[in-house]
Amino acid sequence: MTPHKFFHDDEERRRWQNPEAILVDIGLRSGFTFMDIGCGDGFFALPAARLVSEKGKVYGLDVDDEAIGRLKEKAVKEGLRNLNLKVGEAEDTILCEACADIVFFGIVLHDFKDPARVLMNAKRMLKPAGRLINLDWKKESMELGPPLRIRFSEEEAGRLIKEASFRIEAIKEAGPYHCIIVAKP
């Protein structure tokens, strides 16, 4: 996965994306097990760890060991002990079998070398009643985000998700730049 550097820091990103609101909207709550695949330095993983509380668990996976290191430092600083972080490729990693309430892709599905394989791994990690959440850029020209040519349209992402044996429950807007696809195994 080659992440795109299209924002400078979390504060700048928060001007156009509110991770807490998105996580609450997708139904994340205390006691859940949340997988953040392509977690970077924790824009979603840290708020998720707060939301699931000490009763829940957050797994974070990213290929960038420096980003995982920054995330670990932030978690320690906040006293969050419910994060399980791993450096690795999503195509080759199953963090647990049938343990996750939510497997979350936060603006990364288009970055994976083999998104179909990543989605199959997500299915293995989800509980039978769990949900896959794909938050991604709309396939529209805009100043922010990765090049239009590499973005998935809602239809393209939906097709990949269905081909991985998921049933799409909802597709909705997530602010001016993103959409969310909610799917179940």
**How does 151-184 read in b/e, with b if 16+ C-beta sit within 10 Å?**
bbebeebbebbeebebebeeeeebeebbbbbbbe
Averaged pLDDT for residues 148-161: 95
Residue of 171, 153, 149, 133 lying closest to 23 (CA atoms) = 133
Residue 50 confidence (pLDDT): 98
pLDDT digit string (tens) for 64-90?
A: 999 999 999 999 999 999 999 999 999
Question: Which domains, from first to last, does the chain contain?
Answer: 10-184 (3.40.50.150)
Answer whether residue 6 shows pLDDT above 70: no
Backbone angles phi, psi at 125, to 5 degrees: -80, -20
Strand pairing category for 178-184 and 167-173: antiparallel
pLDDT digit string (tens) for 14-50?
A: 777 899 999 999 999 999 999 999 999 999 999 999 9
Helix axes 45-52, 65-78, angle to 10 degrees: 40
Are 48 and 80 spatial neighbours (Cβ–Cβ below 8 Å)? no
The sign of the CA dihedral 51, 57, 61, 65 is positive
Pair of tokens at residue 177: 């730049």
Are 33 and 101 spatial neighbours (Cβ–Cβ below 8 Å)? yes
